[in-house]
Structure formats: structure tokens, C-alpha cells
Amino acid sequence: MPEIIDGNLIAKQIHAELKAKLEKFGGKRKPCVAFIRVGEDPASVSYVKKKARVAQEIGIDSRLHLLPESVSQGELENIIDTLNADDCVDAILIQAPLPKHLSEREAFNRVRPDKDVDGFSCANLGLLCQEDSSAFVACTPAGILEMIKRSGVETSGKRAVIIGRSIIVGKPLALLLSKRGVDATVTVCHSKSENLGQVCSQADILIAAVGRPATVTADMVKEGACVIDVGINRVPCASTKTGYKLVGDVDFEQVAPKCGKITPVPGGVGPMTVAMLMKNTVAAYERHMPESASK
């Protein structure tokens, strides 16, 4: 049976490291992250709650800006501008997805690059592309690389296949895995890819970021491969209190016996995403408080 990569455990280690780092700094003020949430999408409500709770545990202050579903692009941008100019705010997070009438891209690009802890702005995506280490890297791709590294998965010269080309996961992850020092050979697949199964079956590291259950089946996985499941899908389930359960994009039961390592859902990539948000927030704080960081 494969090694199950425990995202909860690795995330907890990172939280402890960040907490210890902040205690050592003894800065004049705590780091502060501002969350902007538009509307009441239940998943967004729970993600923001989780992030705020973890922040507090580490010693990071958070603020929540709740905007009504009907907010205009201009009003949203005014809030972003105010937070950009606020010296008490180190980090700004706009919880995605935004309602359809708003432009996520315009909003992401409006965030000051040194507060853009999600790494979705042109500036940070460009810096990542340039392999500049000062880039804020999107939290899910950064979390995936961190869990790959911390669980001893070899990347140099290995074949990585990513299913999904989103700005939030697939694209930045392709840049991360192919950068110097990581050195994987990366293939990005998507809905138009031909022979998906055949391409995937070449992968030493297979990453599924599609948003559809059971996209990855056993025949698509090479014996001994490392399989990273980014999907978080709610499927109806009669035997749970909520009436649904969370599953990834990988058919876990079928695929697990074939792999060397695999991430579960829940408790895999998800907690790592949150941990990287905390890491980026502490990094933003260090940039804003150089006198503390140098101690």
C-alpha cells in the first residue's frame, strides 16, 4: 500500500514553525491579514473562517470585510485601495470565487504586490515566471511543492503531469515544478488534451486539479507514482450528517494501491493551502517590518 501524505500533519508543522518565528521576532505589532468576502457562498464562508482561526492560532491578526453580493466593482476596488494604503495591513486576500458580475482579474491586479499573499496579480505571476524568489506564489501550488519536498519526493529530472491549467493552480504549479532547483519535466493537460490517460500514465508525479470526481482512474497511473489530488468536490452521501461528503479528483480506492505516495481528500492539499497563506502573510510582514526581521 502507498504512503498517504498527511497534509494536516505537515500543515501543523508549518504553523508551529511560523508561530515560533513570530515569537522570536517580538515585533511592535502582530502581522495582519485582511479578508474580503463578497456574499454568503457557504464554501467561502467556511474557508475564510478556517483561515482566520489558523491565523489566530499562529499569532496573526485578521480583519474581515464583508461585502454584499450586490457590491459594484468600483466599491470593491475602493476597499482594496483603502487596505493597500493601510500600514497596519500586511496582507490582503480576496476570497474567490467572486459573484459573476465582478471581475476577479481586475480585483486581483488591484492588490498591492507586496500585500498580494494569494499571488494572483500580474506582478507576482510575472515574478514567478522570472524565477524571482521575492514572488508571492499562489498558496495551493506553493503548498503542493512544499508537501512534495517535505515528504521526500524526488522532482529533479522527473516527469510531472498536471491536469488543469487554471491561473490559481495549474499554471503557477507548472512554473514552480519546472523552475531551476526543482527541475521536473512538466506537462500541462486540460479539457482538449488527447490521450489524457496515456499522457498521465507517464507521470512520476501526477497532479489532478480539475474539479470533477474520479477523473483519475487506476489505468492512468504509473506503478509507484506520486499522486497529488487537488480536487475538493461535494458529492451526495446518505450516511453523513450533512448529506454530502468531500472527494477529490482521483478515484482514491482504485488508484491508491498502485501508487508510491498519494494525498487524501480531505486532509491533503487543502490544509497546505491554508498553511502557505500563513507563510506568505508572515513573509509580507517581514518585508513591512524589516527592523523585527533582522533580529
Active centre residues (catalytic): 51, 95, 118
245 binds ligand BQF (CB under 6 A): no
164 binds ligand BQF (CB under 6 A): no
Please select the residue that binds ligand BQF; options are 162, 210, 232, 278, rule is CB under 6 A.
232
Contact 10, 275 (CB under 8 A): yes
Please select the residue that binds ligand BQF; options are 50, 65, 150, 165, rule is CB under 6 A.
50
Name the residue nearer to ligand BQF (CB basis): 14 or 265: 265
**Rounded distance, CA 68 to CA 101, Å?**
13
Residue number with the smallest Cβ distance to ligand BQF:
270
Strands 3-4 and 261-262: parallel
**Rounded distance, CA 203 to CA 159, Å?**
5
Name the residue nearer to ligand BQF (CB basis): 31 or 271: 271
Name the residue nearer to ligand BQF (CB basis): 27 or 266: 266
Please select the residue that binds ligand BQF; options are 64, 96, 214, 218, rule is CB under 6 A.
96
Region near ligand BQF per CB under 6 A, out of 68-76, 107-115, 265-273, 279-287: 265-273
**Rounded distance, CA 51 to CA 277, Å?**
8
270 binds ligand BQF (CB under 6 A): yes
Orientation angle between helical segments 170-178 and 122-129, nearest 10 degrees: 30
* 108-50-67 Cα angle (round to 5): 45
Name the residue nearer to ligand BQF (CB basis): 19 or 245: 245
Please select the residue that binds ligand BQF; options are 75, 267, 289, 292, rule is CB under 6 A.
267
**Strands of 159-163's sheet in order across:** 3-4, 261-262, 226-229, 205-208, 159-163, 185-189
Beta carbons within 10 angstroms of residue 107's beta carbon: 21
Residues within the interface to ligand BQF (CB under 6 A): 47, 50, 95-96, 232, 265-267, 270-271, 273-274
